[in-house]
Structure formats: C-alpha cells, structure tokens
Structure 1
Amino acid sequence: MSLIAVWSPLKSGSGSTMLASSLPIVLALEYQVKVLLAHGGHAGERVEQAFTCKQEALDYMTAFQDTGMDALERLRAGGRLSPENVRNYTLPLLSDRLDLLCGPKPMPADAIHATGNAEDRKQAELMTRVMESSKRSYDLTVADAGNGVPGAADRAILQAADLIVVGLNQNLHILESAIEQERLPPEVSDKACLYIVGKYDRDSHCTLHNIKRRFGIKTTVLGVPYCSGMTDAWNMRSVMPYMQRSRGGADLKRMSSLYNAVRNLADAVAEQLGLPAGGSKLGGLHALG
C-alpha cells in the first residue's frame, strides 16, 4: 500500500541506516501490517548488516543467488515479475510480519566501467518495478535510500516513496551545507517528509526546536538518542532480538528510550499514512509537529 523511504543528505553521522533497520521491526510489532524491508545498496550492505540470516551458514553469494534483487531481475528479464511473486524471493525476519529483500551482487569494476549509464538505468528500472510491486503485496515497504547523493536505485526509491524520513544530526555546520544550499534532490523536495535527528543529545543547545526554526522545517521533527546497546547489537547482527527486548515485555513498562523514540516515529508515520490504529503516543523524547 505505502512506501517509506529513509534517506539522509549527510554522508554519515545521522544513524539513518540503523533507523531504517529498526523502524520496520517496530511497525511490524505495534501495527497489524505486513512489512517489507528493502534498500538500494548491494548484497551484504546497509540494513542487511543488522540481521543474521540462516543462509549465512553457506557461502554468501551462493546462498543469496536464489533470493533478492538478482532473482527479481531474472524474473523481470523473462517478463515474469509480478507483485504476487516478490514475496517468494525475500527472507523472513518475523514470521508473516516482516521480510527482508536483499540487494544485488556487486558487479566487478571492469563490468561497471563497460556498462556505465546502462547499468544505472537497469538498476533504476528494476527498483521502480519492485517498489511498485511491493506496494501491492505488502501493507508497508520501508526502503533504505542511503546517505548523501543518491545513486540510481536510491533515486528510484525516493521517486516512488509516499513518505520520506530524512535523517539529520546536531552538527549545524554540516546541516547548513546539506540543507541551506539547496542540495536536496528533487525527489525529496516535492515529497511529504518527516525529520529524524539521530544520536540525539537532549542536553545540547542544538535542540529539535532550534533545528526546526533554523532551517524552516514545517513538519514533524523527532529525536532518536544514541544507544550503546544498539551499536553493540548492530556489530553482532542482532538488531532484531535487541529491539524485541527493548520493547519491555507485553506490558511495555520496561521500554527503552531507543524503542520509545522509534515507536514515536512509527506512530507519526502511521498517522501520516493513515494506518489502522495500533500504537499509542508514548511520551518519550521531544517531538515537534
């Protein structure tokens, strides 16, 4: 039904990839939705680094040749790509709730040089088709569109998105360069957006309110705190069990500040996209709307 792109104009330091891996988990846990997690990078990159999959017991490239974007490209080339069969080439993360679509194998450098713009066009066309199909076979798709200047696949994600979550940080010098100098791609400037300040320090003078006022942001701005536990979980490819523990049990009374912040974002996304009520507003970090 809907596509959420997570993207940052900053080359690094916004925590947008960690957010892209945790947001679909929270949406799948808190809302009655079937979610697909995808990204515009290559196999083994970006959000894939957050999870341990059974296939990793085998040779990596061999294990993924029958799933992910490479398999969907073969279907597209044969005229057999459809919304109904996209699910068959994903990896389940939460049974019947959350699936992962892995990226394509990276091409050798000489092949990239030889194909040039033709390869970019092929990647963009495939991603566009896949995102269109995912909207019909999943309730929500969350796609990591990377950092900095978007590549061909990332531009296709941004173009197809119904909502873009834009990752920022509290470094005003970097934000001035990335936002004030009109470096946002056109795919972002014309879309509905929510803004997330990653690794947020609420004791800093660079508050959410100040960022919103300084850059004339008219929509919601939320903060997601730095969390050493999440950093460790990322390094151990155990973001899924970490987020499940961070939820605090069935009564939600021991919910971590990180989970609370991501759930605030999930609630804002649900409100923006008109998802069925399934979460409640929890008074965690500050949110400016």
Structure 2
Amino acid sequence: MAKIVFWSPDPGRGNTSNTLAIGTMIGQDYDIRTLITQTQFRRPNLENAFMKAKELQFRNLVNTTTSGMDNLERLFKSKRLSADSISDHTISLEAGRLDLLMGTKKSEAHENFPSIAGAIFDEADRYYQAVILDIHSGNNSSVSEQLIQDADIVVITLSQDTSVIESYVEQKDWPDNLQEKSKIILLGQYDKYSKYNVTNIKRNFKIDDPIYGLPYCSEFRDAINDKDVLNWFRRARNAGKRHPSYSFFQEVRKISKDLLIQIGVNTEIKRIERGVS
C-alpha cells in the first residue's frame, strides 16, 4: 500500500529511534500489516532494539551466515521472489500486524544492491499496508537514493538546531529526488519549551511541510539500550497522565495517526481498542 522512508541529512539525529517509535506504535495500535526494517550496513541498531522479546528467533538468525534481506536477494536473483515469500523471511513482532525483516549482513552495498532492494520492497508493498524503512543518513548512499525515489512519503529527521533547519530550507546536501516527494519533518529529542518550537520554526523558516516534535524520553532510551522496545511499548503505551513517558506516547500516537491518514489508512476503522494486544 505505501512505503514510508525515514531519512536524515546527518547521522546522529535520532532517525533510527524515530523509526522504532513510530513503527512500534503503528504495529500495536492498528490492525494493518506493517513491515519494519533497515538498510544500514554494519549497524543493525533498529533490529537489536527488539531482540529481548524474540531472543530465540534472533539467535537462530545470528547463527546463520545470511539474514532475511540476504535470503530475499537470493530469491530475487533466482526469480522466485513473491509477495507471500516476504513475510516467510521475517520475525513476527505482533502477530498479523508487525513483522521485522532483518537487514543485510553484507559490509557494503554491491553495484546491483540498490535496484534489488527496490524490487524487494516493491514486492513487500503488495503484501503489507505499510512498509517502514530506516535508511542510511546523508546524501552518499545509492541505496538510500533508490528508496527515496520509490517512497510514498519521506519522514525527515531534523533537530531544533537552527543550522540544521537552515540547511534543510536551503536544500543543502539533499538527494536529488527528495524535492518531489511528500514529506513530513520530525524533530527528535524535542524540547517544547525552547524558543525554537514547532510553531516558531514553521513560521520563521517559512516551511510548508508538516512538522512534528518527538520529545526525549529516558524510558524509551533505556528500552533501546535494554533491547526491549517491544515489551516496553506493550507495558507503557496506554499509561495515564502521571506516567513519566505519557507525553512521549501522546506525540508518537499523534504522529503515527497523521502519517497513516496521509497514506490512506482509515484510522478510525483500523484502530485497535485500548488494552487489546
């Protein structure tokens, strides 16, 4: 149905953690088939964040020489890749709703990898209603260029640093095909008390794209370090106003809903009743 790409012009802005938060919330709040994956080389931070909840499956994959993505590449080369085969090579995080595709174990992209990755996610798009991709930051990745080209919407991770905002407005170091894409801006580790809040940034820098702020959350960061994001979301996402992570979940839920609306999901019909997992 739709490919949602998370990209940042610079590494270290929280692109992977933003992908984790939005992807996990969609998988737990909505009855749609969602795939989450990353196309990083050497840094599987996204998939590691789910490891504690699915230790056996991860252990089995770690002990093999290939991964889900690499297996799908072999299927593509042998002309046996299909929409149904995608889910067969994933780890189910939420049954029928959220699947994790392990990234490649290759240390770098070979010449044909961008087009192969594009073909794999095109096929995944036929089975899943949302394909969520955490891609390499910056403007020097042929894989990222391909996936931005194929994306239905690009979530751009920035910060409240004015130099970062100015570079975005001036389109410095943008991938060539980003201009024509539907985009939203997500400010990571957001401080709502800053002078440079969402409203002022949008007005002062004359930005037309939707902008959201996702506040820093100590418990979320701990869950990532504990490799237990899935279980933490299950326990805490519906907590009341006195919970220390309440505002974080409120914003993640708002962003997730608005993003799904933009890709054509009826969020009123697909929303899972609170407390049902």
**Shorter-chain TM-score category?**
0.7 to 0.9
Change (3 A) 1:89 1:158: same
2:204 is the alignment partner of 1:214: yes
Show the counterpart of 1:31: 30
Contact 1:34 1:96 in 2 (8 A): yes
4+ residue runs over 4 A deviation: 251-255
Q: Which amino acid aligns with 1:103?
A: G
Deviation at 1:277, TM superposition (A): 2.4
Which deviates the most, 44-53 or 26-35? 44-53
Q: Which amino acid aligns with 1:2?
A: A
Show the counterpart of 1:57: 59
TM-score where L is the length of structure 1? 0.84
Select the residue among 222, 236, 239 that pairs with 1:246.
236
Q: Which runs of 5+ in 1 are unaligned?
A: 113-118, 281-289
Residue by residue over 1:106-163, the C-alpha shift from the partner in whole angstroms, topping out at 9 and shown as x without a partner, is 23xxxx6xxxxxx543110111111101110111111112322251222222111101
**Secondary structure, counterpart of 1:28 in structure 2:** helix
Show the counterpart of 1:285: none
TM-score where L is the length of structure 2? 0.88
2:267 is the alignment partner of 1:277: yes
Show the counterpart of 1:180: 170
CA distance in structure 1 between the aligned counterparts of 2:162 and 2:154, rounded to whole angstroms: 21
Alignment length (residue pairs): 266
Structure 1 vs Structure 2 CA RMSD = 2.3
Q: Which amino acid aligns with 1:85?
A: S
Show the counterpart of 1:3: 3
Contact 1:44 1:103 in 2 (8 A): no
Deviation at 1:42, TM superposition (A): 3.2
Q: Which runs of 5+ in 2 are unaligned?
A: 272-277
Show the counterpart of 1:104: 104
Contact 1:17 1:146 in 2 (8 A): no
Deviation at 1:215, TM superposition (A): 3.0
Deviation at 1:58, TM superposition (A): 4.9
**Secondary structure, counterpart of 2:72 in structure 1:** helix
Show the counterpart of 1:70: 70
CA distance in structure 2 between the aligned counterparts of 1:32 and 1:150, rounded to whole angstroms: 36
